[in-house]
């Protein structure tokens, strides 16, 4: 079984993906980490790299081809990426949503605690971060619509949709693992 996790910024995708993988004793794959590393190699923030990607499809296609191949050659893993559901269509597709203010609050807190890990746009307030997240989502939509004719934020593309705004990561992970699509596939 393969579980693909996507969603909005700050919804807990990375944390929850790791927890679900741990609960199921699966490998965890983080496409965002791969893209962040690709941005660092070009001395760009993730926002700059995404904007660059709007006219340079190879920035997305490298990560996308990697996950498509992974879906064909491996099993029993959790993959977290905006379009993983599309490139691994036989996965159980999970979408995590969060209210924008709460997502920005979570990311802002993480940026204060781990400033070098996120490689976010340089912002000086949570309000600026919120605007940056809106722009990132627009960039994602632009790129994925242009290159693949899809919207990674369309909840109709997913098997399981969870609003994490008022949930802990543990509650979200348990909800996923206990979902009938997962529970009955184990």
pLDDT for the residue numbered 79 = 97
- Asked if 169 and 110 touch (Cβ cutoff 8 Å), the reply is no
Higher pLDDT, 138 or 114: 138
Q: What is the pLDDT of residues 82-111, one digit of tens each?
A: 899 999 999 999 999 999 999 999 999 988
pLDDT for the residue numbered 93 = 98
Give the Å distances, CA to CA, from 79 to 37, 42, 49: 17, 24, 21
With bands split at pLDDT 50, 70 and 90, how would you rate the model's confidence at 28?
Answer: very high
pLDDT for the residue numbered 118 = 57
Q: What is the pLDDT of residues 146-185, one digit of tens each?
A: 889 999 899 999 999 999 999 999 999 999 999 999 987 7
Dist. CA 88–CA 72, nearest whole Å: 8
With bands split at pLDDT 50, 70 and 90, how would you rate the model's confidence at 25?
Answer: very high
Q: How high is the mean pLDDT of the chain?
A: 91
The pTM assigned to this predicted structure is 0.86
Tell me: pLDDT of 4 over 70.
yes
Tell me: pLDDT of 34 over 90.
no
Spell out the alpha helix ranges (H) of the chain.
13-24, 31-41, 46-53, 58-73, 84-87, 100-113, 126-148, 169-177, 180-183
* Domains of the chain as residue ranges with CATH: 2-183 (3.40.50.300)
């Amino acid at each position: 079984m393969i579980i693909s996790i996507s969603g909005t910024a700050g919804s807990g995708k990375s944390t929850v993906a790791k927890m679900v993988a741990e609960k199921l004793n699966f490998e965890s794959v983080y496409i965002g980490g791969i893209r962040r590393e690709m941005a660092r190699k070009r001395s760009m923030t993730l926002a700059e790299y995404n904007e660059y990607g709007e006219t340079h499809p190879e920035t997305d296609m490298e990560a996308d081809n990697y996950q498509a191949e992974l879906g064909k050659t491996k099993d029993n893993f959790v993959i977290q990426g905006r379009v993983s559901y599309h490139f691994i269509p036989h996965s159980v597709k999970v979408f995590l949503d969060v209210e924008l203010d709460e997502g920005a609050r979570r990311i802002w807190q993480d940026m204060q605690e781990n400033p070098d890990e996120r490689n976010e746009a340089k912002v000086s307030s949570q309000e600026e971060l919120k605007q940056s997240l809106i722009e990132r989502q627009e960039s994602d939509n632009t790129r994925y619509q242009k290159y693949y004719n899809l919207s990674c934020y369309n909840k109709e593309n997913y098997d399981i949709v969870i609003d994490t705004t008022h949930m802990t990561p543990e509650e979200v992970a348990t909800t996923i693992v206990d979902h009938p699509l997962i529970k009955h596939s184990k």
